[in-house]
Structure 1
Amino acid sequence: MRTMTNTLLATLIAVAASQAMAQEAPWLLRARAVHIDPAGKSSPLGGNGAADRIGVGSKTIPEVDISYFFTPRLAAELVLTYPQKHGVYLDGARIGSFRHLPPTLSLQYHFLPAAGFQPYVGLGVNYTRISKVKLLDGAAGLEKDSWGAAVQAGIDYRLNQRWSLNLDVKKVTIRSDVFVGGATASRVKVDPVLFGIGAGYRF
């Protein structure tokens, strides 16, 4: 009887351990290289047609994001980076620069994986803090805060239970009023598309 009990207990422990190992780790940490391609449009106020020709330069930056999986399909992703510097151009001529810090929080749905590939879509909110604005030798400024929507689509390729490769595309709404002499002269629509490639680790 004792031998049977010990055997049953050992079997239950082995089954529980195998199930625990089979469960997905809830956290996913990714590092990406992200190319930022701004829309660079603006809406002139008061008939200032020159504002239509304002553009924001593109660039490639490092990015880190962390996701938490509430279920195997539903996750929340927080995108982090450090303040990024962008050049501002008028008719192709540089007229200044600014820095922005754009953390983004998204809710994602991950589809069933197939042959190691697992696509996902996401919808979230972006907050951008604009700082160190230098436009027209200080004659113009930008609004410091921007709130907007963020949409994304991506795909993970699972190398093993921990490691994966990632491709990701986001569209983020970032807009700021332009001030000249204390008056609002235009609204710049940065609205970048972000193309990312990187690697992820589950833990």
Structure 2
Amino acid sequence: MISHSIRLSFAAALLGATALSPALASDLPSSKAAPVAPILEPWSPWMIRGRALFVVPQEDANLKLGGAPIVGGDVSISSSLVPELDITYFFTKNIAAELILGVTPHNVKGAGSLAGTRIGSAWLLPPTLMLQYHFTDLGAFKPYVGVGVNYTVFFDEKAKGGFASFDLQDSFGVALQAGFDYMIDRHWGINVDVKKIFLEPKVKVNNGLVAGKVRVDPWLIGAGVTYRF
């Protein structure tokens, strides 16, 4: 009888332990680690570029001497290699505005029937504001296109070749753009950029004795470094 009682007590204790084990397990800390939220780096809307810029005018002229057309008269405008800075602000990850700053020196000579005639020299300050679309789904390669407006200020004009005065009138123009950034890391990249500016200022030589319009229409070909904040 005693042995039978012992067996019954042992079975009851075993059943009790089995019933308690799920409750005890629920109180123990979980061995699974809580998921870690990804760390998102802050997005900055600002970017700057420094470029070496090759300015290549595509010149043409419509000139008059004392009010009469100069038949075959044309001009030749020298190319220029200068440093250039631009500042870009992103409204979204695709849409941005870019302001381009730089100055370029140029010499102007006669061409066509005016070949061999030195006319003058001038510096150009052509700030250009572009509205751009950036393609962002190509990895490190980030091409873009743009259209904008240019306002060119001519300064330090100097007459040459025996002329007494040389004056170019400040002018507005339309600008087109295509280029790309290749990002080496989150901040630094390499930039290649090409712009076409349609520019046709008025010109006066010898206080208007020779006058007309000069189509400059330069290509701006640049390469340099990108920094994204």
Q: Calculate the TM-score normalised by the size of structure 2.
A: 0.75
User: Would the aligned equivalents of 2:119 and 2:163 in 1 still touch at CA under 8 Å?
Assistant: no
Aligned counterpart, 2:62: 43
Alignment of 1:101-112 (within 5 A): 101-112=125-136
> How far does the alpha carbon of each residue in 1:109-144 deviate from its partner, in whole angstroms, 9 at most, with x for none?
001342421110000010111111112444342233
- 2:104 is the counterpart of 1:84: yes
- What value does the CA root-mean-square deviation take over the aligned residues? 2.3
User: Would the aligned equivalents of 2:120 and 2:159 in 1 still touch at CA under 8 Å?
Assistant: yes
> How far does the alpha carbon of each residue in 1:24-82 deviate from its partner, in whole angstroms, 9 at most, with x for none?
32111100001000012112343212532x1110011000001000101000000012x
Which AA in structure 1 matches 2:146? G
SS at match of 1:142: strand
For residues 139 and 95 of structure 2, the distance between their equivalents in structure 1, rounded to whole angstroms, comes to: 20
Q: Kindly tell me: are residues 72 and 92 of structure 1, through their superposed partners in 2, closer, same or farther at Cα, counting changes over 3 Å?
A: farther
Aligned counterpart, 2:226: 200
Flag structure 1 segments of 5+ consecutive residues without an equivalent: 1-6
Flag structure 2 segments of 5+ consecutive residues without an equivalent: 1-32
Give how far 1:92 is off: 4.9
For residues 49 and 137 of structure 2, the distance between their equivalents in structure 1, rounded to whole angstroms, comes to: 18
What is the aligned counterpart of 1:60 among 71, 75, 81? 81
SS at match of 1:124: strand
Aligned counterpart, 1:3: none
Aligned counterpart, 1:172: 197
Instruction: Tell me which structure has the larger Cα radius of gyration.
Output: 2
For residues 32 and 113 of structure 1, the distance between their equivalents in structure 2, rounded to whole angstroms, comes to: 25
Which AA in structure 1 matches 2:70? N
Alignment of 1:1-203 (within 5 A): 15=38, 18-19=39-40, 21=41, 23-45=42-64, 46-52=68-74, 54-81=75-102, 83-90=103-110, 91-136=115-160, 137-183=162-208, 185-203=211-229
Which AA in structure 1 matches 2:224? G
Question: What is the aligned residue count?
Answer: 189
For residues 177 and 185 of structure 1, the distance between their equivalents in structure 2, rounded to whole angstroms, comes to: 8
Give the fraction of aligned pairs with identical amino acids, expressed as a percent.
42
For residues 211 and 97 of structure 2, the distance between their equivalents in structure 1, rounded to whole angstroms, comes to: 38
Structure with the higher strand share, 1 or 2: 1
